[in-house]
Amino acid sequence: MHRGGGHNITYVRAVLTDARNRGWRCVVVLTRAAVEHASFDLIRDAFDFACLLEIIDELPSDASNGRGSWIRRQLSRHRQMMHTYRVTCARHGIPDAVFVPDSEHWYAASALLGSPVGKSRLVSISFSVRFHRSHHGVLSSFSRTNAKCQEQLFELCLRRRAINQVLVSDETLIDHYRKKKSSILRHLRYLPEIADLPQLVDKGDARKTLKIRADAHVVLCYGVLSRRKGIPELLEGLEDSNCPPSVVALLAGETDEEMRRLLEGEKAQALRNKQRLFWEDGFLDDQHTALAFSASDSAWLGYRNFENSSGFLWQGARAGIPPISCTKGLIGYWTRSCRLGQTIDPANSKEVVKALRQVASNSELRAHWVANCIQEAKAHTAESFGRTVCDALSQQMDGPTRPFP
């Protein structure tokens, strides 16, 4: 689980639930910052006699930029994983298998230095490996030189068995190696991005609680609220005279300092005074998450300089709230290919306003998007996520599991 909590909480809950049902004993390693985060309360009850919690301090990381920064960050993360594994083994014994998410942050170092978890079998998830995407209709600004280098390191990592299996939330990566008829395929397995949501409530009741008028068209932006989520562009669209007055924005989640200054400024305050902008600040627990999704009609994913997928995309789809998405990256790719909603260039203010007008006025098109969202989201359940991860771990185990002392 990462420092910021968020979607990673749902990953932890899903995997631990399935592991517990299989009778496994687990050691979950979290950083001290993760345990101190408000999101940890949502999984605190998962730690019982069958699930041990190990808290570690992070080693200093290399956060430098410039030439060679990517590989330096990879080596820094690899060092952290080796340290964590050794500390955990010293206290709890050698595990049968290890699960670590986000292999994109350390696979290159593993290709060069070997597995960070010794001889234990290692299963990981890749959320943002992107060297292949431009070949599959995904709009990307990734350079060909970088793509070729990273692809070679990814393949070397898997051939060396530094990672025994990579669970891939991006099907185009599997398609890439299927077309090449590559032996790498045996190390890959598709894992639909999780779209876990608490039980939703009546839309009218949710709006009463949030003090949003009943006849509004609510556009939701959810998660960690930052510039890359296109929040300034969304607010500019609301300020435009051509934007229907029925369209309002609901911003729900933790706000970084830059966006806090924006949302506390005069223009944002003017929108709030007109009841065009609603801001639920802070990490949302299940109750407040349910209110945000229940009250909304559309999801804002007009992200800037971000080319990966988003858990929010699939959460919105499961809730039946179609996205207004950026054109680039997997968000735009899934929105187009699955016909979930509409794509825009967030930097183009005319496109933003046109999209906001359309979602508020075209009920027939919206009904089509809602149906597609609900259908496509069926595969993105917490149960499926947890089962797929634990199936991959089970396949890597040799014989019965060894209990931790």
Question: E strand or H helix at 324, and its extent?
Answer: strand 323-326
Q: Which two tokens stand for residue 318?
A: 């499961």
Q: Residue with structure tokens 């206290």?
A: 91
Contact partners, residue 66, CB within 8 Å, separation at least 6: none
Alpha carbon distance 53, 71 (integer Å): 30
pLDDT tens, residue by residue, 263-282: 999 999 999 999 999 999 99
Ordered by where they begin, the domains of the chain are 7-194+381-396 (3.40.50), 203-378 (3.40.50.2000)
pLDDT tens, residue by residue, 102-161: 899 999 999 999 999 998 999 999 988 888 888 777 887 777 788 899 999 999 999 999
Among the residues of 37-135, which ranges form H helices?
Answer: 69-92, 107-113
pLDDT tens, residue by residue, 74-96: 999 999 999 999 999 999 999 99
Backbone angles phi, psi at 177, to 5 degrees: -80, -25
Kindly tell me the burial class for residue 53, based on how many C-beta atoms sit within 10 Å of its own C-beta (0-12, 13-18, 19 or more): middle
For residues 195 and 375, is the Cβ–Cβ distance under 8 A? no
pLDDT-based confidence at residue 63 (cuts at 50, 70, 90) = low
- If one counts every other C-beta atom within 10 angstroms of the C-beta of residue 195, the result is 25
pLDDT-based confidence at residue 56 (cuts at 50, 70, 90) = confident
Q: What is the pTM of this model?
A: 0.89
Contact partners, residue 153, CB within 8 Å, separation at least 6: 107, 108, 111, 112
For residues 218 and 295, is the Cβ–Cβ distance under 8 A? yes
Alpha carbon distance 9, 154 (integer Å): 27
On average, the pLDDT of the chain sits at: 90
Alpha carbon distance 77, 106 (integer Å): 6
pLDDT-based confidence at residue 3 (cuts at 50, 70, 90) = very low
Q: Which two tokens stand for residue 283?
A: 């990490």
Contact partners, residue 9, CB within 8 Å, separation at least 6: 1, 39, 40, 42, 43
Amino acid, single-letter form, for residue 309: S
pLDDT-based confidence at residue 4 (cuts at 50, 70, 90) = very low
**Which residues, in sequence order, are bridge partners of residue 280?**
252
Q: Are strands 188-190 and 217-222 parallel, antiparallel or unpaired?
A: unpaired
Alpha carbon distance 279, 127 (integer Å): 29
